[in-house]
Amino acid sequence: MEASRSRRYASFAGRTLVRIGLAILGGFGFLLILQNEIQYNIFDAVFLSTFARLLFSGVMNTLFFMGIVIPTGIVIGFVTGWARVSKYKFLSYPATAYVDVIRGIPLIVLVLFAYFFGPFIVPGLFGFTDVGKFFAALALALHTGAYQAEIFRAGFQSVPKGQLEAAVAVGLTRGQAVGYVVMPQMFRLILPALANELASVAKDTSFLSIIGAMELFGNARSGTQIAIYNFGRLDWVFGLWTITALLYLLLTLALSKSLQHVERRYLVPGLGSVSA
């Protein structure tokens, strides 16, 4: 079934167009309904020009934070996940404790207290808020690391044990068996869950604005204050939140799609894709 490349692109474009069309229709419907409640018009030029820069810089900052948190989180998650399935309890016990505690408390608590703790741990560096923000980002990384540890653990454990057995039976050392046989398969298995987790990270960057970082959510919130107090336009508040929501939606969708693309590249012929 080798559809020609151009035909595949055309079909993809067609489907995307239909989806976008439906989304716009849905959005219009939603706005119409809201319009009855709180009369406003999202396409007001003044509205857009006032907030465009604010929102744009917010998106940039969000992407920046994501760029810091995600790689750190993956490293932490991988190492911790590995430690959790290790047969050496001096590795697995602390890892389990770490994961269980972090997953038991709200992220906002972690972020807030990292912010408070920061200046105590590294006194005198830069200014108060900068240290706090750095630690808050670190808290995000720790949090996602704990969840990713679970993902990696499940990945390690769902590669059938027979694979490890067979690899070892052929003479590979445990390390070789894991590196050449278990890991490649695990990687494929965890992609959907990892995509979900990374999307969550994108959304959780919004917590950073609570402590003062200027990312998308925080900027949107300042925007609403401006809308109310400087312009007196209450309806702009909803426009702002709607656009913010859409921006986050785009962000998470882009993340999921790119990971699906990665998944397609690692597809093994004959095996179905893991995400339905």
Partner 1 sequence: MIRAQNIHKYFGALHVLRGINLDVQKGDVLVIIGPSGSGKSTLLRCINMLVPPDEGDVFIDGVKVTSPEIRPEWVREQVGMVFQSYNLFTHLTALQNVTLALRKVKRWDDERANRRGRELLAQVGLAAKEDAYPAQLSGGQQQRIAIARALATDPKAVLFDEPTSALDPEYIKEVLDAMTDLARAGMTMIVVSHEMGFAKGVASRVLFMDHGVVLEEGTPGEVFESPKEERTRSFIGKVLR
Partner 2 sequence: MVASPRHPAGPSGPKRAWMHAHFELLNRIAGTLAVIGFIGVVVLALLGPRGLDFAYVGSHYGIVLGAMTVGVSVTSIAFLAGIVIGFLVGWIRSTAAASPKPLGRSPIPWLVRQGAARVCYGYVELMRGTPILVQLFFVWSVLTIHFFYIGGGPIAIYAVIIALTINTGAYQGEIFRGGLQAVHHGQIEAARALGLRYWQIMRYVTLPQALRLILPPLTNEYIGLLKASALGYTVGLQDTTYWGVFLTQRSLKVFEVFAMVTASYLLVTLPLAWAVKYMERRLRIPGLGIQEEHEAAVRRAVPTKDASLAAQGRSPPTSGRIRNAVVTSAGLRRVFIGDRVRHPARGNSRDPLETRPVPLRFHGTREEPDA
- In the complex, least distance from residue 6 CB atom to partner 2, rounded to whole angstroms: 26
Question: For residues 133 and 188, which CB has a smaller minimum distance to partner 1 in the complex?
Answer: 188
By a kind-dependent CB cut-off of 5 to 8 A, residue 28 interacts, out of partner 1, partner 2, none, with none
By a kind-dependent CB cut-off of 5 to 8 A, residue 100 interacts, out of partner 2, partner 1, none, with partner 2
- Binding flag, residue 117, partner 2 (CB under 8 A): yes
| Nearest one of 86, 258, 67, 217 to 156, comparing CA atoms | 86
Query: Which one of 53-61, 70-78, 116-124, 175-183 is the stretch in contact with partner 2 (CB under 8 A)?
Result: 116-124
- Binding flag, residue 151, partner 2 (CB under 8 A): yes
By a kind-dependent CB cut-off of 5 to 8 A, residue 269 interacts, out of partner 2, partner 1, none, with partner 1
- Binding flag, residue 78, partner 2 (CB under 8 A): no
Question: For residues 10 and 16, which CB has a smaller minimum distance to partner 2 in the complex?
Answer: 16
Residues forming the site for partner 1 (CB under 8 A): 160, 162-163, 165-173, 176, 180-181, 184-185, 188, 268-271
By a kind-dependent CB cut-off of 5 to 8 A, residue 176 interacts, out of partner 1, partner 2, none, with partner 1
- Binding flag, residue 199, partner 2 (CB under 8 A): yes
By a kind-dependent CB cut-off of 5 to 8 A, residue 82 interacts, out of partner 1, partner 2, none, with none
Instruction: Assign 3-class secondary structure to the chain.
Output: CCCCHHHHHHHHHHHHHHHHHHHHHHHHHHHHHHHHHCCCCCCCHHHHHHHHHHHHHHHHHHHHHHHHHHHHHHHHHHHHHHHHHCCCHHHHHHHHHHHHHHHHCCHHHHHHHHHHHHHHHCCCCCCHHHHHHHHHHHHHHHHHHHHHHHHHHHHHHHCCHHHHHHHHHCCCCHHHHHHHHHHHHHHHHHHHHHHHHHHHHHHHHHHHHHHCCCCHHHHHHHHHHHHHHHHCCHHHHHHHHHHHHHHHHHHHHHHHHHHHHHHHHCCCCCCCCCCC
By a kind-dependent CB cut-off of 5 to 8 A, residue 248 interacts, out of partner 2, partner 1, none, with partner 2
Question: For residues 116 and 180, which CB has a smaller minimum distance to partner 2 in the complex?
Answer: 116
